[in-house]
Amino acid sequence: MNSVWSRLRFVLRFFRRELVSGELNLLALAIVVAVAAVTSVAFFADRVERGLRQEATRLLAADLVLSSDKPLRERYGADISKAGFDIADTISFPSMVFSRESAQLSAIKVVSTGYPLRGNVEILQNGKVVSGRLTPQEGTVWLDERLLARLNVKVGDVVRIGNAEFRIAAQLIREPDGAVDVYNFVPRVMFHHSDLARTALVQEGSRLRYRLLIAGESRRLERLQKTLETQLQRGDKIERVEDARPEVRVALERAQRFLGLTALLAVALAAVAMALACRRYLARHYAPVATLRCLGATQNEILFLFSGQFIVLTLVAGGVGCVVAWLTQEILLLPFASLLGTQLPPAGWMPWVSGLSTGMLLLLGFAIPPLLQLRQAPTLRVLREDIQPQRAGILAYAAGATALFALMLWQAGDVKVASLVAGGFLAFIAVSAALAWVMLGIARRLTRHGSAMSWHYGIAQATRRPSLTLLQIVALSSGIMALLVLMVVRGDLLDAWQRNLPPDAPNRFVINIQQKQLDPVADAFVNQGLPVPDFAPMIRGRLLAINGKPVRPQEYRDERTQRLAEREFNLSWNDTLPKGNRLVAGTWWEPGASAQFSMERDIAERLGIKLGDELKYEIAGTEYQAPVTSIREVDWDSFRVNFFAIASPALLQDRPASYITSFHLPEDREDAVTALVQAFPNLTIIDVSAILAEVRSMVDKLVLAIQFVFGFSLLAGVLVLWAAIHTTRDERAFDAAVLRTLGASRQQLIKMHRSELIALGVAAGGLAALGASALSIGVATWLLDLPVSFNPMLFPLGIAIGVFATWAAGMPAVRHIAKVSPLAALRQFS
Amino acid sequence: MQAVDVVKHVQHAGSSLSILQGVNLTLYPGETVAIVGASGSGKSTLLGLLAGLDHPSGGQIALFGKPLGPLDEDARARLRHQFVGFVFQSFQLMPALTALENVMLPLELAGDPEAESQAKAMLERVGLSQRLDHLPKYLSGGEQQRVALARAFVASPKLLFADEPTGNLDAATGAQIISLMFQLNRAQGTTLVLVTHDSALASRCDRAFHLTGGKLVELSRE
């Protein structure tokens, strides 16, 4: 025990000395960057998870919730309350809310007495915050702060929703299930169930979401849930605490996975820096270890000394990395603030553990294997300096690769994704190394003779150790490329997409138009001096069967198709092929043709529908069957009204339908919208540009978060560069010494190294610009179908970043080398 | 070149170690001088000081009438590429540069536009015209030292320092290098300072000195 303690003390003393001497700086920095990158994402994930979990029980406002697009109380309410459970219900839907001068799309929640069964509603009434089981009184309404501001009204004023007028009784601060609805960025309104009829908003085609809230003793609740599961009809589903806010959870999980993999780029680069730093460290300690062995140290004692030291280093540097991550985590959460609403609880201790484990794993993969070699340093080395350490064996590379892959697996949570990412990394490295190699070859040829001496010396120096130079270029360029993609390419693509939209592309959708309103609404457009748009009938129906085979959502593999199969479709009927639609198979029906369907290509492929298939839809209890006679391709970017499924008039024209349209509202004609909804209060007008702006601002914040993580990559790339320069510092010092004896001035030495650094920076930046351009053109051509966009600014920008980075990383070392006394350097090597 | 009362101490672990104690040496144009001594006697230190690679702790050194004391490192570097050439025991070629580029280096440092043609001519004189584009690692030891000689003589130095130039070569190759060096030396009228522990080699020089106990003693000729 005593001996272990004394050895440990020796390790710590040794560590302190090495730390002070600066031998461990680079290794420590690489660990800090790797751990900070991974841990900032871990903090983010942990807090989001905690936030969701903490909210979950309150999210439902009940213990169990039934949800459906059809009324529930009539079907289940009586049985459930007879069984002794408390029930309440809510109905949510989007609608316009009017003040005297303006109208605003809002998320309406209609609540019954008894709401909420769990958690509290919080309102601001008479300047006081009131909290509890509260519902608005009949004839009154609660508005949230955003809506009060946007409508320019205050408590006590009157607003209109549909056909009914309401007095604003309070400001709605928070309701337990407030964030369940999809319309998160739409302002919120709450009124009592008894007022719903007055508004006359429940009409054909209204998008209502009914929820039946249930609360009771937990064991009986489980039994109830089992019974209900057997009784559920299509479109009904049970919402449990754990699947509250599935869309938010999925979005956040994806974001977390993406950020995690992004962080891995930084980790991979930092690992390279670590490996280089280790190499130099061990090379410098080869002789001392041989001496230690001469003095009788066993291999294990040497291993203990150095691995103990590395472990202490990893704990210290990893801790610093965690602290950096902890300080910067808020930036990652920024884009999700609006999605998560409330303040997130602070992170727990898991990210600290995962951060330190990352550091340890990297250490195990990249530092320990070369250490195993070190302990074998032959004692003969003391006598013969020319004995060099053996080159790193397969074992060392395999250990590093395994460690990195383990990290990828951990972040991706899936072997397939991890393999894909690893493959992508490798392909990227291979291609960029090959390109860099070609660039260097050309540069060497160009500068061989006749060019300025500092250049040909610099380039020659860069080609002296090709693998090391390629490593530097690739590492730096991947960091720069990541930044370029986010800084320039993203904006370019968004702009290109927006430019590609016709200037008169529709920017408003109108839904809920009733059949009898078609002519008056058309007249209203004429009165406002706007062209009358096409109105398309919209009928909600559910796909029951394809060729007589029932459609079962769970049989589809991907989530989106499952949801499509589960959800009600918006069906339409039409005589003619709508604008922006193109037939890709079959023929369009003649006027007066028999009942048939035309399907959009993508959804047909997803659901496995082919030309000639018989589809059976259920619309409000009636079943409709017809064959598919055409497949269409739809230009979704046009912002016109489009449908997945269109029927011939023969099938559906006799059914009651609500109508939908889209139109282009000129910028200064907001008044036309106000007039339109004041005349037809049941219409819901959706401002597409506002939604786009919202999405864009969210994308911007998301990009900020990703950029931040990529920032770690750039930093790690610079570390690789720094490590490489340090690895070659001894030979550079030697070269510098020889040059000095030949009469080179300090300035000439600096110039030569500067040329080399500039060459590296230009190569890395140019390569990054090339990669970013290729990516931009690829995405534009294949993914977005936009005219190829190429931004010439990428090259100067990439090269500027590259040169700046190499400069920053290299110049301090170069200045140091240029100061070396020629004699001292010569003695060290001769 | 004149050295007067040159003293060199090295600080090591708090105590001062005296390597040179009052060395005096005057070199005359065109002569060849050998400095012999046991290893660790301070030969290389003296060479470094004479060439202005390092500062003496005391005394004066002047190169071509210019005292080195007041000059900074860059001024001394200028002086070197104007007047001084070097040949080292371990050749000290730039590993990244080809033979030709290595020989061009001193001329390029001086900004000579004729660097390439002069370097080629010099490599031809040392018999390496077929090896111009080879990197040092593809040359034999003897070839490397010939490149080093070409590099040393290409700028027509007035003063050439050679530090154990045959130390890393076998006897036969060493002899070839030495005769090549003396041949070039005669042709260019260079002053040659040769550090060696080979007394046979020392005896081929005009004068020979023995460095011992930090003092330089001229060896009398029989």
Instruction: Determine, for residues A742 and B81 on separate chains, whether the beta-carbon distance falls below 8 Å.
Output: yes
* Strand bridging mode B159-163 / B191-196: parallel
Contact A568, A235 (CB under 8 A): yes
- pLDDT: which is higher, A32 or A256: A32
Contact A714, A482 (CB under 8 A): yes
Q: Where are the beta strands (DSSP E) in A21-127?
A: 64-68, 86-98, 103-111, 121-125
Residue of B nearest to A822 (CA): B53
Instruction: Determine, for residues B92 and A740 on separate chains, whether the beta-carbon distance falls below 8 Å.
Output: no
pLDDT tens string A383-413: 555 555 555 566 777 888 888 888 888 877 7
Instruction: Determine, for residues A821 and B53 on separate chains, whether the beta-carbon distance falls below 8 Å.
Output: yes
Minimum distance, in Å, between the CA of residue B92 and any CA atom of chain A: 7
What is residue A830's predicted lDDT score, i.e. its pLDDT?
42
Separation between Cα atoms, residue A3 and residue A17, nearest integer Å: 21
Separation between Cα atoms, residue B10 and residue A222, nearest integer Å: 87
Query: Is A525's pLDDT higher than 80?
Result: yes
Minimum distance, in Å, between the CA of residue A731 and any CA atom of chain B: 10
Query: Is A242's pLDDT higher than 80?
Result: no
Minimum distance, in Å, between the CA of residue B219 and any CA atom of chain A: 27
* Strand bridging mode A597-600 / A622-634: parallel
Strand (E) or helix (H) holding A619: strand A614-619
Q: Which residues of A touch B19 (CB under 8 A)?
A: none
What is residue A236's predicted lDDT score, i.e. its pLDDT?
84
Minimum distance, in Å, between the CA of residue A472 and any CA atom of chain B: 18
Minimum distance, in Å, between the CA of residue B220 and any CA atom of chain A: 31
Count CB neighbours of B176 within 10 A.
Answer: 16
Which residue is associated with the tokens 């009942």?
Answer: A595
Residue of B nearest to A461 (CA): B96
Separation between Cα atoms, residue A129 and residue A430, nearest integer Å: 62
Q: Which residues contact A384 (CB under 8 A, 6 or more apart)?
A: none
Taking residues B133-160, what's their average pLDDT? 89
Residue of B nearest to A464 (CA): B96
Sign (positive or negative) of CA dihedral A495, A501, A503, A507: negative
Contact status of A739 with chain B (Cβ, < 8 Å): yes
For chains A and B, CB pairs below 8 A equal 92
Query: Is A754's pLDDT higher than 50?
Result: yes
Minimum distance, in Å, between the CA of residue A2 and any CA atom of chain B: 33
Instruction: Determine, for residues A744 and B51 on separate chains, whether the beta-carbon distance falls below 8 Å.
Output: no
Minimum distance, in Å, between the CA of residue A830 and any CA atom of chain B: 6
Contact B199, B38 (CB under 8 A): no
Three state DSSP letters for A470-537: HHHHHHHHHHHHHHHHHHHHHHHHHHHHHHHCCCCCCCEEEEEEEHHHHHHHHHHHHHCCCCCCCCEE
Bridge partners (DSSP) of residue A678 are: none
B78 → closest Cβ in A449, A461, A743: A743
Contact A668, A149 (CB under 8 A): no
% of chain A exceeding 70 in pLDDT: 87
Taking residues A630-656, what's their average pLDDT? 86
Instruction: Determine, for residues A464 and B82 on separate chains, whether the beta-carbon distance falls below 8 Å.
Output: no
Q: Which residues of A touch B101 (CB under 8 A)?
A: 448-449, 456, 460
DSSP codes, A223-239: HHHHHHHHHPPTT-EEE
Q: Which residues of A touch B45 (CB under 8 A)?
A: 823
Minimum distance, in Å, between the CA of residue A455 and any CA atom of chain B: 12
Q: Which residues of A touch B115 (CB under 8 A)?
A: 453
Judge residue B182's burial from the number of C-beta atoms within 10 Å of its C-beta, 0-12 exposed, 13-18 middle, 19 or more buried. middle
pLDDT tens string A559-579: 778 877 877 788 999 999 988
Query: Is B13's pLDDT higher than 90?
Result: no
Count CB neighbours of A339 within 10 A.
Answer: 17
- pLDDT: which is higher, A626 or A417: A626
Tell which of B53, B87, B117 to mutate to test the A interface (max A CBs under 10 Å). B53
Lowest mean pLDDT across A129-143, A263-277, A607-621, A699-713 = A699-713
Instruction: Determine, for residues A742 and B106 on separate chains, whether the beta-carbon distance falls below 8 Å.
Output: yes
What is residue A783's predicted lDDT score, i.e. its pLDDT?
66
Mean pLDDT over each residue of chain B, to the nearest integer: 85
What is residue A527's predicted lDDT score, i.e. its pLDDT?
92
Classify B190 as helix, strand or coil.
coil
Classify A71 as helix, strand or coil.
coil
A748 → closest Cβ in B54, B92, B109: B109
Contact B161, B3 (CB under 8 A): no
Nearest to B58 by CA among B16, B5, B1, B12: B5
Single-letter code of the amino acid located at A385: E
pLDDT band at A59 (very low <50, low <70, confident <90, very high): low
Structure tokens belonging to residue A349: 């201790």
Contact status of A815 with chain B (Cβ, < 8 Å): no
- pLDDT: which is higher, A779 or A226: A226
% of chain A exceeding 90 in pLDDT: 18
Q: How many helices (H) and strands (E) does chain B have?
A: 7, 10
Query: Is A52's pLDDT higher than 80?
Result: no
Instruction: Determine, for residues A743 and B86 on separate chains, whether the beta-carbon distance falls below 8 Å.
Output: no
Contact status of A449 with chain B (Cβ, < 8 Å): yes
Contact status of A385 with chain B (Cβ, < 8 Å): no
Q: Which residues contact B8 (CB under 8 A, 6 or more apart)?
A: B18, B19, B20, B42, B45, B46, B49, B54, B56, B57, B58
Instruction: Determine, for residues A747 and B74 on separate chains, whether the beta-carbon distance falls below 8 Å.
Output: yes
pLDDT tens string A338-383: 555 556 777 788 888 888 998 888 888 888 777 777 766 665 555 5
Q: Which residues contact A820 (CB under 8 A, 6 or more apart)?
A: A733, A736, A737
Taking residues A275-300, what's their average pLDDT? 76
What is residue A194's predicted lDDT score, i.e. its pLDDT?
93
Task: Quote the pTM value.
Answer: 0.66
B 131-160: CB under 8 A from A = 151
Query: Is A683's pLDDT higher than 50?
Result: yes
Nearest to A484 by CA among A799, A272, A763: A799
Contact status of B109 with chain A (Cβ, < 8 Å): yes
A830 → closest Cβ in B89, B106, B116: B89
Q: Which residues of A touch B89 (CB under 8 A)?
A: 830
pLDDT band at A617 (very low <50, low <70, confident <90, very high): very high
Structure tokens belonging to residue A63: 């213990």
Q: Which residues of A touch B92 (CB under 8 A)?
A: 734, 738, 741, 826, 830
B78 → closest Cβ in A449, A735, A745: A745
Instruction: Determine, for residues A745 and B74 on separate chains, whether the beta-carbon distance falls below 8 Å.
Output: yes
What is residue A365's predicted lDDT score, i.e. its pLDDT?
85
Residue of A nearest to B93 (CA): A738
What is residue A182's predicted lDDT score, i.e. its pLDDT?
39
Taking residues B28-56, what's their average pLDDT? 84
DSSP category for residue A232: P
- The ipTM value here is 0.78
Contact status of A743 with chain B (Cβ, < 8 Å): yes
Instruction: Determine, for residues B109 and A747 on separate chains, whether the beta-carbon distance falls below 8 Å.
Output: no
B77 → closest Cβ in A449, A731, A745: A745
Contact status of B206 with chain A (Cβ, < 8 Å): no
Contact status of B89 with chain A (Cβ, < 8 Å): yes
Classify A629 as helix, strand or coil.
strand
Query: Is A247's pLDDT higher than 60?
Result: no
Single-letter code of the amino acid located at A355: G
Separation between Cα atoms, residue A292 and residue A777, nearest integer Å: 59
Lowest mean pLDDT across A30-39, A554-563, A659-668, B53-62 = A554-563
Lowest mean pLDDT across A239-248, A743-752, B61-70, B202-211 = A239-248
What is residue A183's predicted lDDT score, i.e. its pLDDT?
43
Q: Which residues of A touch B43 (CB under 8 A)?
A: none
Mean pLDDT over each residue of chain A, to the nearest integer: 82
Instruction: Determine, for residues B105 and A830 on separate chains, whether the beta-carbon distance falls below 8 Å.
Output: no
What value, to the nearest 5°, has the Cα angle with vertex B54 and ends A459 and A460? Answer: 5
Cα A612 to Cα A597, A606, A619, A626, B208: the distances in Å are 9, 16, 21, 9, 109
Cα A310 to Cα A35, A276, A317, A390, A403: the distances in Å are 15, 15, 10, 21, 16
What is residue A135's predicted lDDT score, i.e. its pLDDT?
92
Contact A98, A681 (CB under 8 A): yes
A460 → closest Cβ in B84, B101, B106: B101
Bridge partners (DSSP) of residue A623 are: A618
Alpha helices in A729-779 (DSSP H): 729-741, 746-778
Cα A70 to Cα A74, A712, B54: the distances in Å are 10, 50, 94
- pLDDT: which is higher, A53 or B59: B59
Query: Is A204's pLDDT higher than 80?
Result: no
Separation between Cα atoms, residue A411 and residue A638, nearest integer Å: 38
Range B28-43+72-218: architecture per CATH: 3-Layer(aba) Sandwich (3.40)
Judge residue A772's burial from the number of C-beta atoms within 10 Å of its C-beta, 0-12 exposed, 13-18 middle, 19 or more buried. buried
A 536-555: CB under 8 A from B = none
Label residues A696-713 b or e (16+ Cβ within 10 Å = b).
eebeebbbebbbbbbbbb
Query: Is A2's pLDDT higher than 60?
Result: no
Contact A569, A642 (CB under 8 A): no
Contact A103, A96 (CB under 8 A): yes
Separation between Cα atoms, residue A234 and residue A70, nearest integer Å: 10
Instruction: Determine, for residues A743 and B101 on separate chains, whether the beta-carbon distance falls below 8 Å.
Output: no
Separation between Cα atoms, residue A150 and residue A490, nearest integer Å: 32
Highest mean pLDDT among A476-480, A691-695, A799-803: A799-803
Strand (E) or helix (H) holding A246: helix A246-284
What is residue A522's predicted lDDT score, i.e. its pLDDT?
93
Query: Is A229's pLDDT higher than 70?
Result: yes
- Residues across chain B: 222
Taking residues A15-33, what's their average pLDDT? 84
Tell which of A447, A461, A752, A826 to mutate to test the B interface (max B CBs under 10 Å). A826
